[in-house]
Amino acid sequence: MKNKRLNFGIILFIAIGVVPFVAAFIYALLYSFGVIGVANKGFTTEFWTSVLASGEFFTSFLYSFLIALVAVAVSVGGALWVTLKFRKRLEQKFLSFIIYLPLAVPGIVTGFFTFQLFSKGGFFARLSYQLGWITEASQFPDLVNDALAFGILLSFITMIMPFFVLLFLNVYKNERIEELSILAQSLGANAKQVTQRISLPILIKKTRVLIVLYFIFLLGAYEVPLILGRESPQMLSVLIIREIKQYDLDKISEGYVVAVMYTLIVSAAAIVLFFPRKGRMYEH
Amino acid sequence: MLSWKPFALSVAVLLILFPFVYLVLLSLSSEWRFPDLLPSYFGLKNWATILGSEAGLLESFVSSLLISLSVAIVSTTSGFLISRAVFYHPKKNTLTLLAYFPYILAPVVFAACLSFFFLKMGLFGNITGVIVAQFIIAFPYALLFFSSFWNKKIKSYEDLVATLGGNRWQTFIKVLFPLAKGLILICFFQTFLISWFEYGLTSIIGIGKVQTLTIKVFLFIKEANYYYGALSCCLLIFPPVVLLYLNKRYVFKKLV
């Protein structure tokens, strides 16, 4: 009886958690090989050859990879610095609520707000005009929809850095880093050694899975690059949806080729990250 | 020597509060053209439209609320109950790995690949479809969220209840739910936020017919109607702020 109940739970898990993913992947795979699809006439590798030859996927992947890498590196670095420098002050009642506030802002609002501040007609352009630094809007530098993805990076950093600050504060407390630091100091370690040999290694080791997970989330981010990105290159999710929603029916299949490649990459990352191993903490 | 830390923290607090203040100000403005630093109109005109049907924002707010509450209730309940079967299973590590695949994939790409099935099932372009689609991405989160709850201690409580003659129902109602109350509440808030903040998946499955607040924000951005866009942003931000406050004040406090 007990086993039956457990098995029913597993069947439900497979039905809700696994079947949709497998169905979506198989559908995208068949579409990418021309087996299904309105204008497709049967199995072909034409769409895969076309995508691989055009190089747009690789450019988009590299672009997304670099943006995600820089955003995560800056956010984690900044959050570590804030945690180590301001930990005690952030425990005060007022500040301990304020640092949670950025979590209430979704990506689409962050994108909109960044656009409002940094576009050529935005807040900082107006301020520059009033200060006499520019005489017309077009003189304001391209900070959104720009080649260096400044707007996207700024949005990502403001979105995830507060989360990492909260995470590191939590780990600092739970791993009793304070006590370990006092112990190290009593054994003769200086402040630099305590930071480099105790605080940083523990904080990074205990949160490394989450750091990689956030990198993967940013790799597939959609709303922010949709508002603040350029026509070319585009971040992966934006590229996939642009291709799939095209009127050119051949492009739809190419969109599914990119979707399959993206799914394979993140699935491989999931296997590397979460393949059963012992001794993991703060995984989600 | 004066410490620079209070000054740095004050700047940080101002930077955190700035988006909230700016969006409220923008939502109260109109005819704010370059290079003016302040708007020529400042008042409640835009907010008054919430009560009218012109922008349909009240309708979007209610739709978003309905969708997010449904997703949060269903995914938290199913996540809690099904996670028990998964994390007591001998193959729990493999099952956990399987749960990570939909969790890690971008929802918008997932939705694009699933849209054919939603179309076939008549779930395309309606609220039910959006709820089902959001549930599919919120469920793995809820399931993984409860992974640490099902440990040896909980199992021994369950065994103790069974030894004392308690049935399954009593185990859940009298032991498991009270023990997991705080976690269930946090999971409810989190899955509510996953749904409340969702844009890409909703735009694909809802095909513009289901106009949640995130869809409205994007529509207003495309129309370059930044005042209504800011107003939608305010409506989108304030419920999570209230939830965060309640979460922090009542839930975390009791858990610690």
C-beta separation of A228 from A152 below 8 A: yes
| Inter-chain CB proximity A241 and B112 less than 8 Å | yes
Residue in B82, B112, B196 closest to A13 by CB? B82
CA distance B34 to chain A (A): 6
* Cα B207 from Cα B205, distance rounded (Å): 5
State percent of chain B over pLDDT 90. Answer: 74
Closest CA to A283 of B244, B104, B240: B104
Residue whose entry in the numeric block shows the structure tokens 């790799």: A219
- Residue count of chain B: 256
| Inter-chain CB proximity B78 and A16 less than 8 Å | yes
Mean pLDDT of chain B: 91
Cβ of residue B250 closer than 8 Å to a chain A Cβ: no
* Cα B63 from Cα B67, distance rounded (Å): 6
Question: Left (φ > 0), alpha (ψ -120 to 50) or beta: where does A282 sit?
Answer: left
Nearest CA in chain B to A282: B148
CA angle (A258 as vertex; A73, A249 as ends), nearest 5: 145
Tell me chain A's radius of gyration from C-alpha atoms.
Answer: 24
Which residues of chain A does B217 touch, with a Cβ-Cβ cutoff of 8 Å? Answer: 108-109, 112
Q: Cα separations (Å) of A88 from A81, A145, A169, A178, B31?
A: 13, 39, 10, 11, 45
Cβ of residue B138 closer than 8 Å to a chain A Cβ: no
Segment A250-272 mean pLDDT:
93
What is the amino acid identity at position B2?
L
Residue in A28, A123, A137 closest to B113 by CB? A28
Segment B244-252 mean pLDDT:
73
| Inter-chain CB proximity A23 and B96 less than 8 Å | no
Which residues of chain A does B34 touch, with a Cβ-Cβ cutoff of 8 Å? Answer: 121, 125-126, 129, 137
B115: in domain: yes
- Check pLDDT > 70 for residue A222: yes
Residue in A100, A123, A266 closest to B248 by CB? A100
CA distance A233 to chain B (A): 18
Residue in B23, B97, B168 closest to A274 by CB? B97
pLDDT in tens, A131-181: 999 999 999 999 999 999 999 999 999 999 999 999 999 999 999 999 999
Query: What are the phi and psi torsion angles at B170 (to 5°)?
Result: -65, -35
Which is more confident, A277 or A105?
Answer: A105
3-state secondary structure string, A20-39? HHHHHHHHHHHHHCCCCCCC
CA distance A240 to chain B (A): 7
pLDDT in tens, A60-80: 999 999 999 999 999 999 999
Number of structural domains (chain B) is: 1
- Residue count of chain A: 284
- Check pLDDT > 50 for residue B240: yes
First to last CA, chain B: 37
Q: How confident is the model at residue A284 (pLDDT cuts 50, 70, 90)?
A: very low
Mutation target for A interface from B100, B220, B241: give the one with most A CBs within 10 A: B100
Predicted local confidence at residue B118, as pLDDT: 96
CA distance A130 to chain B (A): 7
- Check pLDDT > 90 for residue B141: yes
| Inter-chain CB proximity B106 and A27 less than 8 Å | no
* Cα B1 from Cα B60, distance rounded (Å): 54
Closest CA to A220 of A164, A274, A271, A156: A156
Q: ipTM, 2 decimals? A: 0.90
Cβ-count burial A12-41 (b if 16+ within 10 Å, e if not)? bbeebbbebbeebbebbbbbbbbebbeebe
C-beta separation of B5 from A85 below 8 A: yes
C-beta separation of A43 from A128 below 8 A: no
Residue span of the structural domain in which B99 resides: 56-212
C-beta separation of A224 from A233 below 8 A: no
- Check pLDDT > 70 for residue A193: yes
- Check pLDDT > 60 for residue A280: no
Task: Name B42's bridge partners.
Answer: B29
- Check pLDDT > 90 for residue A238: yes
Predicted local confidence at residue B255, as pLDDT: 46
- Chain-centroid distance, C-alpha A148: 17
Predicted local confidence at residue B256, as pLDDT: 40
Segment A4-15 mean pLDDT:
86
Residue in B13, B93, B112 closest to A244 by CB? B112
Which residues of chain A does B93 touch, with a Cβ-Cβ cutoff of 8 Å? Answer: 276
CA distance A276 to chain B (A): 5
- For domain A55-274, the question of CATH label 3.40.50.300 is answered with no
Task: Name B29's bridge partners.
Answer: B42
- Check pLDDT > 90 for residue B2: no
* Beta-carbon contacts of residue B216 (< 8 Å; ≥ 6 apart): B55, B56, B57, B60, B228, B232
C-beta separation of A130 from B37 below 8 A: yes
To the nearest 10 degrees (0 to 180), the angle between helices A249-274 and A19-32 is 140
Which of A220-234, B15-29, B49-63, B75-89 has the lowest average pLDDT? Answer: B49-63
pLDDT in tens, A26-40: 999 999 999 998 888
* Cα B50 from Cα B48, distance rounded (Å): 5
B247: in domain: no
Closest CA to A165 of B256, B118, B48, B16: B16
What are the residue ranges spanned by the domains of chain A? Answer: 55-274
Q: Name the token pair of B63.
A: 């739709």
User: Tell me, what DSSP letter sits at residue A196?
Assistant: I
Task: For residue A254, count other CB atoms closer than 10 A to its CB.
Answer: 24
Write the CATH number for B185.
Answer: 1.10.3720.10
B9: in domain: no
CA distance A208 to chain B (A): 16
Tell me chain B's radius of gyration from C-alpha atoms.
Answer: 23
Query: What are the phi and psi torsion angles at B40 (to 5°)?
Result: -80, -25
Nearest CA in chain A to B19: A113
Which residues of chain B does A85 touch, with a Cβ-Cβ cutoff of 8 Å? Answer: 5
Sign of CA dihedral A202, A207, A212, A215: negative
Closest CA to B107 of B184, B232, B205, B208: B205
